[in-house]
Structure 1
């Protein structure tokens, strides 16, 4: 599949279909790297220290930034390195093998595509290949995963289990900080788990294109393992800021469903990815996603006379359909669910 950019090598000029109109380009001006991005250390909790300070750090980061990096998170460095290595190997496999996974069908449990799922209809393409598959429970989906590289299923299976434990732990710390019952987000709220890996080959002119569109995550919570090549940017106070990858850290982003359930206490900011002119970039994302029929609404413990309910109850599938119709614009989608008064 020549459409896959992972099959390209030594690209010297920008294909016209990847060149964005001037108003949507990142441009040549460098986006400043933010040095104040919160870093949460879970080591004190593991050493039986009072978790109160760590919990407050998580709440503050979720309120003021809408994302944070976590160190000493419990996912082993060896497993993180092995998983990153496996995905780099996968994207380097022969085109004929990768073609068997190519699909724009959102219902397919394991799919590989370029740009977005609307490749054939979109006017401009994003500079990325994306490989996505479901991974919880692992035994239900592992049969659909690649058999190559030979260690893919073993390594990615372990990784999927460990990052799920990590995200559920973060959600429990959020519960404690918000005054919700422990494991409030277990079950239907976090029933589905998706692994999503982005691969970007070196780009001839990063000022003309984007590696991913600006968006907010519609799910419950997201985790990102970055490589050492920068590219992730968040919109904060109306300006884009760059995120410098921390070695062996995991980046956490509360999704739009956490924004609703927290009754707007948490942010879920827009973010995007820019490309790099000399180095390939691989990142691993993991998303916990509610079941389609689960009822989403602000937690009752967070609604009172001083904090009225901001959103009506809705099913996740209703939100996701609206989000898609609105062009993945979070604010436009939430207009259909806000309680005005």
Structure 2
């Protein structure tokens, strides 16, 4: 428990264990002005402008791999209450969180610090993380969740249900844009959902460390709420673009599985999270993914002359991804045809 950044960060300089090599530091944290990922008004998808929204989402997925959605239908009060209880969790005394702390990456519900495998890391990330499953079988998943704060299970369950609905809605639009049949991403391709809550305390030297290293997500899509504080950056055309947190907006990004299914039409793009010297940041990422035994392959109607990838079982992809996640090219090449 003493390894959690939130347990010791106050009134300390950045420890050697969290200082990245010069070539991997974020350095200048000022990102280009006037550049941002697309923002899409999802309310227009239900009316006469649906075709335009479908085209906007497809274009964003092709060019950026990321977009933000507003007017998405998730109640603002529900998001606010969900974040209140997530922040309350990280503010609890260490003794109340100790039961969940684990350095075993196979634990289904665990509180940890830094990356996937703390013991094997040469340099640690400036973050604490709570991760647990939400779907399938929400009621079974809830039994794994924190019992404190008292409202955690109730509020996060409601939040996760709405996030899953939003993800399903976006996947339907993506399927339509790709020319796939309705419901293509239903059942096993989007059966699972994992919640990853990142908590980043203020950092004394943001230019020398990272909250999350550059990576691509291995799942289908990610539904992210930034919690109102800057930090997320997306790599686009050779430079990092800051993703401005918009009021009541969700960030959506294409995962490796969706790139594969689309036969490289949509892009899973590298992103990272930089630190902040003044403000703590808590974010909630809902990872929508295939079931472990689901076979993933390019959609037959999108193969053209050839499939860019061979079929594989999703759990095998994850086994290759985690040891190699810092190099997405290595990850994806393993599964190319």
TM range (shorter): over 0.9
Contact 2:195 / 2:287 at 8 angstroms: preserved in 1?
yes
Cross-structure match for 2:129: 130
Equivalent position of 1:269 in the other structure: 269
CA gap of 1:256–1:105, structure 2 versus 1, over 3 A, is same
- In the alignment, what sits opposite 1:102? 101
Q: Given the two structures, how large is their TM-score scaled by the length of structure 1?
A: 0.95
- Relative to structure 1, the CA distance from residue 20 to residue 9 in structure 2 (aligned partners, 3 Å threshold; closer, same or farther) is closer
Would the aligned equivalents of 1:33 and 1:244 in 2 still touch at CA under 8 Å? no
Show the counterpart of 1:60.
Answer: 59
For residues 194 and 317 of structure 2, the distance between their equivalents in structure 1, rounded to whole angstroms, comes to 18
The secondary structure found in structure 1 opposite 2:275 is: coil
Corresponding residue of 1:315: 313
1:61-210 counterparts in 2 under 5 A?
61-136=60-135, 137-210=137-210
Show the counterpart of 2:284.
284
**Deviation of the 1:328 alpha carbon:** 4.3
- Shift of the alpha carbon at 1:172? 0.3
- Tell me the number of residue pairs that the alignment of Structure 1 and Structure 2 aligns: 336
Secondary structure, aligned partner of 1:193:
strand
CA distance in 1, matches of 2:293, 2:33: 40
1:223-261 deviations in Å (ceiling 9; x for gaps): 110122100011111211111111100000010000000
Deviations 1:68-108 (A, max 9, x none): 00001111110111111111100000101111101122332
Work out the CA distance in 1 between the residues paired with 2:10 and 2:53. Answer: 46
Map of 1:39 onto structure 2? 39
| Structure 1 residue 221 displacement after superposition | 0.7
Return the offset for 1:29.
Answer: 4.8
SS of corresponding position for 2:61:
helix
RMSD: 1.3
Deviates more, 1:108-117 or 1:325-334: 325-334
Q: 1:52-79: CA deviations, max 9, x gaps?
A: 1100000000000000000011111101
* Partner of residue 250, structure 1: 250
Name the CA shift for 1:60/1:121 in 2 (closer, same or farther; >3 Å).
same
Q: TM-score, normalised by structure 2?
A: 0.96
Could you tell me which residue of structure 2 aligns to residue 10 of structure 1?
Answer: 10
Q: Per-residue displacement from partner, 1:257-316 (whole Å, max 9, x unpaired)?
A: 0000000000110000000001100000000111122111110111223xx211111111
Separation of aligned partners in 2, 1:127 and 1:319: 27
Alignment CA distance shift 1:70-1:235 (3 Å) = same
Asked if the contact 2:36–2:242 (Cα under 8 Å) also holds between the matched residues in 1, the reply is no
Q: Which runs of 5+ in 1 are unaligned?
A: none
**Where has structure 1 moved over 3 Å in runs of 4 or more?**
33-36
Cα deviation digits, residues 203-230 of structure 1 (max 9, x gap): 0000010001110000011011012210
C-alpha distance in 2, partners of 1:133/1:124?
24
